[in-house]
Structure 1
Amino acid sequence: MEQQDTQAKKGGLLASTLVVSAMTLLSRVLGLVRDVVLARLLGASAGTDAFFVAFRIPNFLRRLFAEGAFNQAFVPVLSEYRSRSRDEGHLAASKLLIDRVAGTLGGVLVLVTVLGVIGAPLLIWVFAPGFGDDPHKRQLAVEMLRLTFPYLFFIALTAFSGAILNTWNRFAVPAFTPVLLNLSLIGSALLLAPHFAEGRMAVALAWGVLIAGVVQLMFQLPFLARLSLMPVPRMAWRDEGVRKILRLMAPALFGVSVSQINLLLDTVLASMLETGSVTWLYYSDRLTELPLGVFAIAIGTVILPSLSSKHANASPDAFSRTLDWGLRLVLLIGVPAALALAVIAEPLLSTLFNHGEFSANDVLRSAQSLRAYSVGLVAFMLIKILAPGFYARQDTRTPVKIGIIAMVANMVLNLILIWPLAHAGLALATSLAAWLNGGLLYIGLRRSGAYTPGQGWLAHWLRLLVAGATMAGTIYFMARQAQVWLHGPLTDRIVWLTLIVVAGVAVYLLTLVIVGLRPRHLRR
């Protein structure tokens, strides 16, 4: 992994992005394997609904506080301290900040974790009120939340460690770490679940989450030690750097994590719908997360330290060019990914999940919400690039205003669309709110002068539209030719889906070349 990071540093942002994307792709592929195992073992049952709620609550807090607001506030400040340390010729200032943040963050996490475990029944009542009609489902959710909530403590410190490594351009280790979560859940499903009684097998997954949190943190610590950055926790609420991070973090809670809040609201409302609704949303969201995590989050992870450094060094032109590069690259991936998810929703879900306890009806219902999420996929991806443009400049006020607007819009759209479209309406509301969020972020960057589009955008859009339309037509035609998706043998589905994916990628890339895209267009 260190060798990959060294090569990435020599190759610039694109090479670093490819390293993160490769590691994230491995994690997402294993995540799909995990979901296939869970779907086969448990289907869309009360146990899976309860587990996904119990896992989503600490996972939501992780993304909100650790990888969301905290990460976006911590990295710019740490980059500033690192630049200062370079000038002084030693790492003392950076190391002291790391120690004090570790102690302060760790203390807060201990308190939050204790409160979460004690208040598990209240949290389930708040975030899954519909479970009150099914005492068994509610009790399962409470029991599993008490196992999964401590995951927040370990994974938040893991994200803290990963932010340090990213700031020192060590991207491979943090990107690989989520693989351990998927391996833990797969192992728990296959090895622990059979030892639990019927109807309680999902509890094994909650144990898997807790184990994964410990393993992920332990995995990253040796790499921090090699950089002489192993934290020695010190409580320091009054430290200038800690206070600055807290000031930036407070409003960033809304600005960077609106999409996660919206997804959690979906879970709350879905818990009031028929059994299976939470699970259908989960599996469709998981497929949406594949391109989002592999590409958009990878690019956003790589450019945040770069943008922070350019802001610290007063390089506005380089700052704008880096954002421009990130937007072009994410659209190059996001447009075909969104089209593919919409066009071949049933083939994807059927091939991956339609066996064991996951029925044909589950495929069709999940496909409805997957298409709704695909409407907003490009917006989800753009937000991952646009938001760092604010946080790298230590501007947290603008994103929070935009986040509140988008969140209110999502709530209103949820109430409007849930009646005619049920769970799919919740997904569509999230997508539309994401477009509002992304659009306002873009306008804010333009108005502030932080971002000015470079040359060639018209040609870039034309290439994307022509290549995307050609690809969509190709995979639609191929998917219609196969009659195996809901009732055919699994091997036939795998063969057909592989052919469709390979053909779609080949047609898209070939069309891009024909219409004039060249490797130089991908370099910053």
Structure 2
Amino acid sequence: MARAVARRDRDAFVERTAFGLRLVGLLTFPAAFAFLVMSRPIIGALLQHGEFSASATITTSRALAGLSLGLIGYSIYLFALRGFYAHQDTRTPFLINLVQNVLNIILAFALVRTYGVLGLGVAFAVSYIIGAVVALYVLRIKVHTFPVVDVLVSLARMLAAAAVMGAVLWLALKPVGDNNGFGAVLKISVGIVIGTLVYLGALTLLRVPEVNGLRSASQRLISNRNSAGQQD
């Protein structure tokens, strides 16, 4: 991105920025919903040992669930700010950060009394989602050819696919395993397999073009491994 700006190649900057935003969404959105749905078994498998009790697992998993939603906006927000840094513009990101932080503080005070640590996570999530949208539209003002609407539509489709994945996981994992020990590991493992298949299927149904690139990369990886195995 910075090299494209240095060469004054606006088309290359727009192409790389838009592709980067879509790639970030493609990978982080399903991760966010996976953390949301599987927060209990994840914390149980990692931390519920010794003095770390089941009640501590519940409290910590609620924080993870809230913060996982923040990953959606946070990832897009940070990448969008890179567009300004590529232009050596630090003033605009500072102002956007200022607005986002003020909004985060207001929402945190409003939600923490009712929802506790989950409220802090939700405040984090909402403020970064709003900040990401603001950053993208301000970037559109700075670079008039930046396709903000197209990017947001693509991200919305990925978000819908990830939400479908999350709903299916929530239903499918209820009878599987447990929330601590080996049962938690089993639940997480099954969730990864089901989530991957459902997410790819939802992306295909929603006609998200980036899924073709993801499939091609997976096929190349499998092909390279097979070739390496044959050589051995």
Q: TM-score, normalization: structure 2?
A: 0.81
Q: Is 1:501 aligned with 2:192?
A: yes
Q: Is 1:440 aligned with 2:134?
A: yes
Query: Which residue identity does 2:166 align to in structure 1?
Result: A
**Alignment match of 2:54 (pick from 337, 360, 365):** 360
What is the CA–CA distance in structure 2 between the aligned matches of 1:402 and 1:459, rounded to whole Å? 22
- What residue in structure 2 maps to residue 492 of structure 1? 183
Aligned-pair CA distance for 1:417: 2.1
What is the CA–CA distance in structure 1 between the aligned matches of 2:216 and 2:125, rounded to whole Å? 27
Report the secondary structure of 1:314's partner residue.
Answer: coil
Cα distance change on mapping 1:520 and 1:420 into 2, 3 Å: closer
- What residue in structure 2 maps to residue 405 of structure 1? 99
> Mean Cα displacement is larger for which, 389-398 or 371-380?
371-380
Query: Which residue identity does 1:355 align to in structure 2?
Result: H
What is the CA–CA distance in structure 1 between the aligned matches of 2:50 and 2:128, rounded to whole Å? 34
- Moved segments of 4+, more than 4 Å: 454-459, 520-523
Report the secondary structure of 2:174's partner residue.
Answer: helix
Query: Which residue identity does 1:378 align to in structure 2?
Result: I
Query: Which residue identity does 1:479 align to in structure 2?
Result: L
What is the CA–CA distance in structure 2 between the aligned matches of 1:499 and 1:382, rounded to whole Å? 28
Aligned 8 A contact 1:347 1:479 in 2: no
Report sequence identity in percent.
28
Aligned 8 A contact 1:410 1:430 in 2: yes
Aligned-pair CA distance for 1:329: 0.8
Structure 1: state its 5+ residue gaps. Answer: 1-306
Aligned-pair CA distance for 1:413: 2.1
Q: Let me know the Cα RMSD of the aligned residues.
A: 2.7
- What residue in structure 1 maps to residue 24 of structure 2? 330
Alignment of 1:293-332 (within 5 A): 307-332=1-26
Structure 2: state its 5+ residue gaps. Answer: 218-232
Aligned 8 A contact 2:176 2:186 in 1: no
What is the CA–CA distance in structure 1 between the aligned matches of 2:145 and 2:189, rounded to whole Å? 40
Alignment of 1:104-119 (within 5 A): none
Aligned 8 A contact 1:372 1:428 in 2: yes
Cα distance change on mapping 1:521 and 1:503 into 2, 3 Å: closer
What is the CA–CA distance in structure 2 between the aligned matches of 1:520 and 1:413, rounded to whole Å? 36
Aligned 8 A contact 1:323 1:451 in 2: no
Aligned-pair CA distance for 1:465: 4.8
What is the CA–CA distance in structure 1 between the aligned matches of 2:194 and 2:158, rounded to whole Å? 17
Q: Is 1:387 aligned with 2:77?
A: no
Aligned-pair CA distance for 1:335: 2.0
Query: Which residue identity does 1:500 align to in structure 2?
Result: G
What is the CA–CA distance in structure 1 between the aligned matches of 2:28 and 2:38, rounded to whole Å? 16
After superposition, the C-alpha distances for 1:274-323 in whole angstroms (9 at most, x for unaligned) are: xxxxxxxxxxxxxxxxxxxxxxxxxxxxxxxxx11111111011111111
Aligned-pair CA distance for 1:463: 4.7
Cα distance change on mapping 1:503 and 1:391 into 2, 3 Å: same
Cα distance change on mapping 1:320 and 1:458 into 2, 3 Å: closer
Query: Which residue identity does 1:409 align to in structure 2?
Result: L
Aligned 8 A contact 2:140 2:148 in 1: no
Aligned 8 A contact 2:69 2:121 in 1: no
- What residue in structure 1 maps to residue 168 of structure 2? 474
Query: Which residue identity does 1:382 align to in structure 2?
Result: I
Alignment of 1:131-150 (within 5 A): none
Aligned-pair CA distance for 1:469: 3.8
Aligned-pair CA distance for 1:361: 0.7
Report the secondary structure of 1:481's partner residue.
Answer: coil
- What residue in structure 2 maps to residue 419 of structure 1? 113
Query: Which residue identity does 2:197 align to in structure 1?
Result: A
Query: Which residue identity does 2:194 align to in structure 1?
Result: A
What is the CA–CA distance in structure 1 between the aligned matches of 2:149 and 2:130, rounded to whole Å? 25
Aligned-pair CA distance for 1:492: 2.7
Aligned-pair CA distance for 1:382: 0.5
- What residue in structure 1 maps to residue 228 of structure 2? none
Q: Is 1:345 aligned with 2:36?
A: no
After superposition, the C-alpha distances for 1:92-139 in whole angstroms (9 at most, x for unaligned) are: xxxxxxxxxxxxxxxxxxxxxxxxxxxxxxxxxxxxxxxxxxxxxxxx
After superposition, the C-alpha distances for 1:472-517 in whole angstroms (9 at most, x for unaligned) are: 233112221135215xxx2232123211112211222244345544
Aligned-pair CA distance for 1:415: 2.2
> Mean Cα displacement is larger for which, 509-518 or 435-444?
509-518
Q: Is 1:428 aligned with 2:122?
A: yes
- The size of the alignment, in residue pairs, is 214
Cα distance change on mapping 1:513 and 1:342 into 2, 3 Å: same
- What residue in structure 1 maps to residue 69 of structure 2? 375
Report the secondary structure of 2:173's partner residue.
Answer: helix
Alignment of 1:232-247 (within 5 A): none
- What residue in structure 2 maps to residue 14 of structure 1? none
**Larger radius of gyration between Structure 1 and Structure 2:** 1
Report the secondary structure of 2:52's partner residue.
Answer: coil
Q: TM-score, normalization: structure 1?
A: 0.38
After superposition, the C-alpha distances for 1:433-470 in whole angstroms (9 at most, x for unaligned) are: 21232222112101112651189658735752553244
Query: Which residue identity does 1:417 align to in structure 2?
Result: L
